[in-house]
């Protein structure tokens, strides 16, 4: 097992590496030092050849060192940004240790940045690099040790203790790959973990000859990667759709059908949905309707899409009358949830998507509410093991539910907790509100309605508000628009004979579907939480 030290400049990798190797009775090396021996001074190399040439040479050297059998390897701050290096670091024979450093501590250690070509502006340069690299560091790290107030020997001891606690095997990284089975008439696997996109070819049936990749603008690089992975033996067509709910329109679906027709896609071919929930919803709908049904494979890239939209075979588009009113049930051949996509996911997207995870906690998915109660910030941070435990629990709950009830004839309705009012808010807002924000308010409304009906206690309502607030999501919505919201809620799929039916909780973890014919009660509860 090799121990790899990563982290920002000034964290102490070069000093700690030899001390750690001595304690472990193994060899050590520092990639920056080896680079200098082989190519000369780093600053001079930068000035003569430029950063791209340096990164290429650095990555080649680091890969060589990783394969050399060295026991402890300290990497330059930017080395893990190489995709090839990052892929190597994820191998089970490596344990990656992040030596972390705060900005205040860095101010004392890096000085003017002499000898470090990317730190020409001192602390300002360090701050910029740290912000850029932190997501990658956190995603790769098996062990994290802050070096702010510790000397080199103390850091060594902390790392040794962490390695000993983990045992002889590599610690399981946050988001270690897991397979989640979805049963029923057309069973499939949801693969959750880092780098799952790389396995796309193995997930595609052998009879497929053509693949249409439907993706959003932000996924251009990943769409091109999918093309490279599949194009050696398949005909791959890339088709970009508008972002978010603008992509879930009839004319967008029609554009996809046009491409399928022009390229003569047959029933043995396949559509890939690559992107957020809107992309996977549309891709599934296009696949379900082309030739009355061809295969679809989903690659969700957001928390929302992984926890909700891409799993379960629900597909749909929006109309002028409301959200997801046109659609079908069409199960995918596989769902590849690549957690590496979280490294570039905006914080707002992650936070709002996590509302669907917390929803599953209220419905009874194990561990989610406990993680939120313990440390909300850590639970919703995609770089942590707690986050991945919560996401896996949410996906497993959904897999269990849709296995038993694919077509929403019973238990699957529970997954709409918070969605009756949430969808109405999204519609009234012209879909400018993210889905998770609408669901957040919708869950608070459902909790208050359940309390008014004697199903939930005030303490349980307060916990709803506390946990949703901890996500940084709203628990109120504007007043004066009840008629518009009520009219839109009447279009909800659960409505029967003009009577709204809500998913409510008879105690946390115990959902039920309850008709509520008393419109005055519905309005009173809403007005009690409106701004």
Measured between alpha carbons, how far is 58 from 39 in angstroms, rounded to an integer? 10
Catalytic residue among 245, 349, 392, 408: 408
Give me the catalytic one of 245, 340, 356, 426.
Answer: 356
- DSSP state letter for 305: I
The Cα-based distances of 526 to 153, 285, 439, 460, 486 in angstroms read 59, 34, 14, 18, 10
Q: Residue 148 — φ and ψ, nearest 5°?
A: -50, -50
Are 420 and 499 contacting, i.e. CB atoms less than 8 angstroms apart?
no
Query: Quick check: 214 and 273 in contact, CB under 8 A?
Result: yes
Query: Torsions phi, psi of 150, nearest 5?
Result: -110, 145
330 catalytic? Reply is: no
Catalytic residue among 88, 116, 419, 437: 419
Which residue among 435, 437, 448, 501 is the active-site one? 435
Catalytic residue among 13, 90, 423, 434: 423
Q: Is 416 tagged catalytic?
A: yes
Q: Of 156, 194, 295, 412, which is the active-site residue? A: 412
Any catalytic annotation for residue 419? yes
Hunting for tokens 């033996």 — which residue is that? Answer: 233
Q: Is 359 a catalytic residue?
A: no
Which one of 398, 434, 437, 464 is the catalytic residue?
398
Gap between the Cα atoms of 466 and 508, Å rounded: 14
Q: Residue 11 has what DSSP assignment?
A: S
Residue among 158, 248, 249, 314 flagged as catalytic = 314
DSSP category for residue 50? -
Q: Residue 389: in which H helix or E strand, if any?
A: helix 385-404
| Tokens, residue 128 | 């910029």
CA distance 495 to 98: 52
Tokens found for residue 37 = 């021996």
Cα of 310 vs its chain's centroid, Å? 12
Q: Catalytic: 292?
A: yes
| Catalytic choice (292, 496, 497, 531) | 292
How far apart are the two ends of the chain, measured CA to CA in Å? Answer: 57
Count Cβ neighbours within 10 Å for each residue of 295-320 and write b for 16 or more, e otherwise. Answer: bbbbbbbbbbbbbbbbbbbbbbbbee
Active site residue 314: yes
CA distance 404 to 427: 30
Catalytic residue among 194, 340, 416, 463: 416
Enzyme catalytic residues: 292, 314, 356, 398, 408, 412, 416, 419, 423, 435
């Amino acid at each position: 097992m090799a121990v790899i030290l990563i982290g920002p400049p000034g964290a102490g990798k070069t000093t700690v590496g030899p001390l750690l190797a001595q304690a472990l009775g193994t060899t050590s090396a520092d990639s920056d030092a080896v680079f200098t021996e082989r190519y000369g001074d780093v600053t001079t190399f930068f000035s003569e050849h430029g950063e791209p040439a340096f990164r290429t040479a650095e990555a080649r050297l680091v890969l060589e060192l990783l394969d050399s059998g060295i026991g402890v390897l300290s990497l330059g701050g930017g080395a893990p940004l190489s995709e090839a290096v990052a892929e190597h670091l994820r191998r089970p024979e490596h344990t990656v240790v992040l030596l972390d450093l705060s900005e205040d501590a860095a101010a004392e250690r890096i000085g003017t940045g002499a000898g470090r070509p990317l730190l020409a502006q001192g602390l300002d340069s360090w701050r910029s690099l740290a912000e850029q690299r932190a997501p990658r560091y956190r995603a790769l790290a098996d062990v994290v040790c802050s070096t702010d107030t510790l000397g080199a020997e103390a850091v060594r001891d902390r790392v040794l203790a962490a390695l000993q606690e983990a045992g002889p095997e590599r610690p399981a990284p946050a988001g270690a790959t897991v397979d989640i089975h979805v049963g029923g008439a057309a069973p499939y696997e949801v693969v959750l973990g880092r780098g799952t996109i790389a396995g796309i070819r193995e997930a595609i049936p052998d009879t497929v000859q053509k693949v249409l990749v439907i993706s959003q603008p932000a996924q251009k690089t990943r769409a091109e990667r999918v093309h490279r992975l599949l194009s050696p033996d398949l005909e791959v067509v890339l088709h970009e759709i508008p972002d978010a709910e603008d992509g879930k329109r009839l004319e967008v679906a029609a554009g996809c059908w046009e491409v399928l027709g022009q390229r003569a896609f047959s029933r043995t071919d396949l559509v890939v949905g690559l992107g957020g929930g809107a992309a996977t919803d549309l891709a599934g709908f296009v696949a379900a309707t082309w030739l009355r049904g061809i295969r679809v494979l989903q690659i969700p890239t957001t928390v929302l899409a992984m926890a909700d939209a891409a799993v379960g075979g629900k597909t749909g588009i929006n109309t002028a009358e409301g959200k997801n009113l046109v659609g079908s049930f069409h199960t995918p051949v596989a769902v590849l949830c690549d957690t590496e996509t979280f490294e570039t996911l905006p914080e707002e997207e992650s936070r709002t998507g996590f509302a669907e995870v917390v929803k599953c906690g209220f419905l009874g998915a194990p561990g989610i509410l406990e993680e939120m109660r313990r440390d909300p910030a850590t639970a919703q941070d995609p770089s942590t093991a707690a986050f991945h435990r919560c996401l896996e629990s949410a996906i497993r709950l959904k897999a269990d539910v849709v296995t038993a009830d694919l077509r929403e004839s019973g238990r699957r309705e529970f997954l709409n907790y918070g969605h009756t009012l949430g969808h109405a808010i999204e519609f009234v807002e012209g879909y400018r509100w993210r889905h998770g924000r609408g669901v957040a308010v919708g869950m608070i409304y459902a909790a208050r309605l359940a309390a008014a009906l004697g199903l939930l206690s005030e303490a349980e309502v307060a916990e709803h508000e506390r946990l949703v607030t901890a996500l940084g999501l709203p628990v109120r919505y504007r007043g004066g628009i009840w008629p518009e919201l009520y009219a839109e809620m009447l279009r909800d799929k659960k409505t029967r004979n003009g009577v709204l039916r809500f998913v409510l909780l008879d105690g946390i973890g115990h959902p039920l579907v309850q008709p509520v014919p008393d419109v005055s009660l519905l309005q009173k509860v809403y007005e009690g939480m409106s701004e």
